[in-house]
Amino acid sequence: MNKETSKKIGLWNVVGLGVGGAVGSGIFITLGTAIASTGRSILPMTVICVFYMLLAYWYNLALSGIFIVNGGDYSMKGMLLPPILIGYGGWTNVIWAFGFTGYALGLTSYLSSLWPVLGEHGKLTSAAILTLFFLLSIKGNRIVALFQNAATIFLIGALMLFVILGIPKVDINNFFDMSYDGGFFHNGFFGVINAIAIMGWACQGTTMGPVGVIPITKNPKRTIPMGILITCVVVSIIYGLMSFAAAGVLPYDEVAGQNLSVTASVIMPKGMFAYFVLGGGVCAIVSSFLAVLAMIREPIAHMADDGWLPAIFKEKTADGYPKYCFLMVYIIALVPILTGMSVNNAISMLMIPSMLINAFLNVYCITIPRKYPKQFEKRSIKCPAVIYDICCILGGICALIVASTLFGGLTIYDMITAAAIILIPLLFSAIALKKGAVSKESLDKRREEIVKEALLEE
C-alpha cells in the first residue's frame, strides 16, 4: 500500500461523517411539527423518511457507484444539469438564506426555554443571532473547526440523555393504541405525507457528507454507496428512538408543534435539562449554522466569479471573503425574521427549490446507462437495470412530492414568495446567459472536463 492510499479514509470514517452530518439541527427543529401532522405514528414515519429522502437524493447514491466524481455533489450537478439550471444550482447557495432564518428562529426557541425574556422579544433575538453568526463568518473557517469538535461531543451526550431518560417514561401500553389521544395517523394520509415533507430537512444529510469526501476515500465507488446505506440505517435508528420518546411521554396536545425541550423539561432534572438545551438544541443549531456558512462560501464566490451575479459581487476582502455575496445572503435571511415568517415556512422556502432541482437530477440519471454503458456495467450496486430506472423515476417523484406538499401547506402570500424564489433565480440565470456574462461554451467545456476526470479516475 502506497503512502497516498494509506492516508485515505475507509468505510467507517465515511459512516461517521454521514451520521454526524445528518443528525443535527434538523431533528431538533422539525420533530415537534412533524408530530403535529401525524401524531404518534411519527415513530415509523421518521424511519421511513430517512430512506424516502435517500430516494429524493438518488443521484448522489447512483452516480457515486458509477463514477469517481472528485467534485462531489457540485460536480455531479455539473455533469447532469443544463446551463440555465447550473446557474439556478448556484443560486441555491443564496437561497440557503432561508435556512439561516430557520436556524436563527430555532435557536431563539430553544434559548427562550431557559430564558423566556428572549422569546418575548423573538424578532430582536433572532435578528441579533443572525447578525452575530454572519459577523463570525468574516473570521473564516477556523472558528467552525474549533466549535464543531466540542459541539459533537455535547450533542451525542444530549441525544443519549433524551433517549435513555425518555423511553422508560413512555406509556407503551397506550402508545400503539390507534384510538388513544389522537392515535396513529393523526391527520390521515395527508398528515403522513406532510410529516415526511417536514422531516425531509432533518433526513436529507445522509448523502451529502459522504459524496463530499470522494477524493480522499479508499475504493470510493464501493465505499461511498455502502457508507450512505449504512448511514441511513444508523440515522433511522437514532431518529426512531428520539421520536418514540418525543411522542410518547406527554399527551399529543402538549408536544404537537413544540420543540424537544418541552419533553426534555419533564424527563430531566433542571441541571440535565439546561445541558440538553445548550449541549443538544443550541449546539446542534449553532454547529449547523456555522458549517453551512462555511460550506456556501466558496461556491457562492465561484458563482459570482463565473458571472451569474453582477460584477460588484466579485469583490472580496484581502483573505478572500466574498463580502457583498454574504451581505446579500444576510439581508435575504433577515427580512423573513423581521416580517414574522415561521421557522416551518422558512424551511419550506429552502426545501421547495432544492427538491425541484433534485427531481430533475434524479430523472436525468436514467440517461447514464445509455451514455456510459461501460461505466454502468462496472457499477458497485449491482441491481438490475430496470430497478435502477425505477429508482430514478421514484427519486424524481419523491422529490416532487416533498416540494408540492410543502408548497400546498403555505398561505397564498407565502406561495407567492415561494414562487418568486423559484422564478427570480431562473430569470437572472437566463439573463446572465443571454447577455453573455456566462458562456454556454465554457459550461459545456467544464461538463466535458468533469466527465473526462471521472472517467480517467477509473
* Digit-coded pLDDT (tens) for 347-394: 999 999 999 999 999 999 999 999 888 889 888 888 899 999 999 999
* 243-to-34, 95, 212, 339, 422 alpha-carbon distances in Å: 10, 29, 29, 31, 32
| Whether the predicted pLDDT of 441 surpasses 50 | yes
**203 in Cβ contact with 235 (< 8 Å):** yes
Task: State the pLDDT at residue 3.
Answer: 44
Cell 415533507 identifies what position? 197
Helices (H), 65-141: 72-80, 83-95, 97-114, 116-120, 122-137
Rounded CA Rg of the chain: 22
- Percentage of the chain beyond pLDDT 70 is 94
DSSP annotation of 170 reads: S
Three-point CA angle 154, 19, 10, nearest 5°: 115
Task: State the pLDDT at residue 321.
Answer: 84
pTM of the predicted structure, to 2 decimals: 0.85
- Percentage of the chain beyond pLDDT 90 is 42
| Whether the predicted pLDDT of 71 surpasses 70 | no
Task: State the pLDDT at residue 218.
Answer: 86
Task: State the pLDDT at residue 9.
Answer: 77
Average the pLDDT over 423-427 and give the result.
93
Spell out the residues 6+ positions from residue 452 whose beta carbon is closer than 8 angstroms to its own.
none
- The answer as to whether 47 is a domain residue is yes
Residue 297 vs residue 433, higher pLDDT: 433
Residue 149 vs residue 266, higher pLDDT: 266
Give the residue from 200, 240, 227, 198 showing the smallest Cα distance to 52.
200
Average the pLDDT over 161-190 and give the result.
85
Backbone dihedral angles phi then psi of residue 9, each to the nearest 5 degrees: -90, 160
- The answer as to whether 57 is a domain residue is yes
Cell 443550541 identifies what position? 282
Spell out the residues 6+ positions from residue 350 whose beta carbon is closer than 8 angstroms to its own.
95, 96, 98, 99, 102, 201
CA-CA distance, 38 to 46, in Å (whole number)? 11
The CATH number of the domain where 421 resides is what? 1.20.1740.10
**40 in Cβ contact with 246 (< 8 Å):** no
Task: State the pLDDT at residue 355.
Answer: 93
4 pLDDT band, cuts 50/70/90, is very low
Spell out the residues 6+ positions from residue 415 whose beta carbon is closer than 8 angstroms to its own.
407
- The answer as to whether 2 is a domain residue is no
From 40-49, 116-125, 144-153, 243-252, the region with the lowest mean pLDDT = 144-153
- The answer as to whether 8 is a domain residue is no
DSSP annotation of 372 reads: -
Three-point CA angle 400, 406, 410, nearest 5°: 140
CA-CA distance, 149 to 277, in Å (whole number)? 18
Task: Name the residue type at position 55.
Answer: L
- The answer as to whether 73 is a domain residue is yes
- The answer as to whether 26 is a domain residue is yes
Domain carrying residue 429: 15-453
Give the residue from 30, 298, 262, 3 showing the smallest Cα distance to 141.
298
- The answer as to whether 3 is a domain residue is no
* 177-to-43, 253, 448 alpha-carbon distances in Å: 13, 17, 57
Backbone dihedral angles phi then psi of residue 217, each to the nearest 5 degrees: -110, 135
| Whether the predicted pLDDT of 150 surpasses 80 | no
From 195-209, 319-333, 420-434, the region with the lowest mean pLDDT = 195-209
| Whether the predicted pLDDT of 94 surpasses 50 | yes
Task: State the pLDDT at residue 186.
Answer: 83
Helices (H), 39-71: 42-56, 58-64
The full DSSP string for 303-331 is HHHTTSS-GGGG---TT---HHHHHHHHH
5 pLDDT band, cuts 50/70/90, is very low
State the total domains in the chain: 1
**104 in Cβ contact with 130 (< 8 Å):** yes
Task: State the pLDDT at residue 7.
Answer: 66
**227 in Cβ contact with 18 (< 8 Å):** yes
Residues 387-397: tens digit of each pLDDT: 999 999 999 99
Residues 95-141: tens digit of each pLDDT: 989 999 999 999 999 999 889 999 999 999 999 999 988 888 776 55
CA-CA distance, 87 to 90, in Å (whole number)? 5
**52 in Cβ contact with 196 (< 8 Å):** yes
| Whether the predicted pLDDT of 256 surpasses 60 | yes
**322 in Cβ contact with 297 (< 8 Å):** yes
DSSP annotation of 141 reads: S
- The answer as to whether 6 is a domain residue is no
Average the pLDDT over 314-319 and give the result.
85
Residues 330-351: tens digit of each pLDDT: 999 999 999 999 888 999 999 9
Cell 424578532 identifies what position? 123
Average pLDDT over the chain reads: 86
From 147-151, 262-266, 276-280, the region with the lowest mean pLDDT = 147-151
From 165-174, 418-427, 437-446, the region with the lowest mean pLDDT = 437-446
Q: Does residue 9 sit in helix, strand or coil?
A: strand
